[in-house]
Amino acid sequence: MKNGKFEQKDLDDLNEIYKENGPMNWYELKEMVEELIEGNEGPSQEEQECVEFWTIVLESLEDVGSLFLYDVRDEDGYSSIENIMRTLHYDNGKPLTTDDYNYFEHYDRDQDFWGFFNDEYIDHFELDENGNLLNILEMTKRKLKRYLKNMYDGSSWEHDFH
């Protein structure tokens, strides 16, 4: 690592560790990383480097901007959801999301977003051009669109606005 950023060797190590531990969803991996941080806290240089490594992984897991769909790299997972939601409508034909209104901000539905990704498996990790860690989900945009359409298209306008 250099200046708190992953380098290619760190990324290779992380992908290898992940592969050895078997597929995990976002939530399972987050729990494992938290345990690794707690179990490696100590005064030695090696322990401090280990904690720093896993802390970077944990921060990326908690950052919505670091979640990406398997087949989409030009927008993070949340942006993908927002863009799909712009194509869906309430039961009266009005859009679920506009520039003035975001469905996920209504009734703290942001929890729906995180709840959805909790169960999604991570395929692998990549680095962006700035050395930030990206979590690449197994989910494709097609699967996400199908899920969101089935879940939210035709939601009740009356429920949300009256």
Q: What is the largest CA-CA distance in the chain?
A: 62
Mind listing the pLDDT tens digit for each residue in 26-53? 889 999 999 999 999 999 999 999 999 9
**Residues forming beta bridges with residue 89, ordered by sequence position:** 95
Query: Which one, of 26, 144, 161, lies nearest residue 85 by Cα?
Result: 144
In the chain, where are the structural domains located? 8-161
Kind and range of the H or E run holding 115: helix 110-118
pTM (2 d.p.): 0.80
pLDDT, residue 112, reads 60
Quote the strand ranges of 118-160, DSSP E. Answer: 122-127, 133-137
Write out pLDDT tens, residues 90-145.
899 988 888 887 776 665 555 566 666 778 899 999 998 888 899 999 989 999 89
Higher pLDDT, 24 or 118: 24
pLDDT score for 9: 94
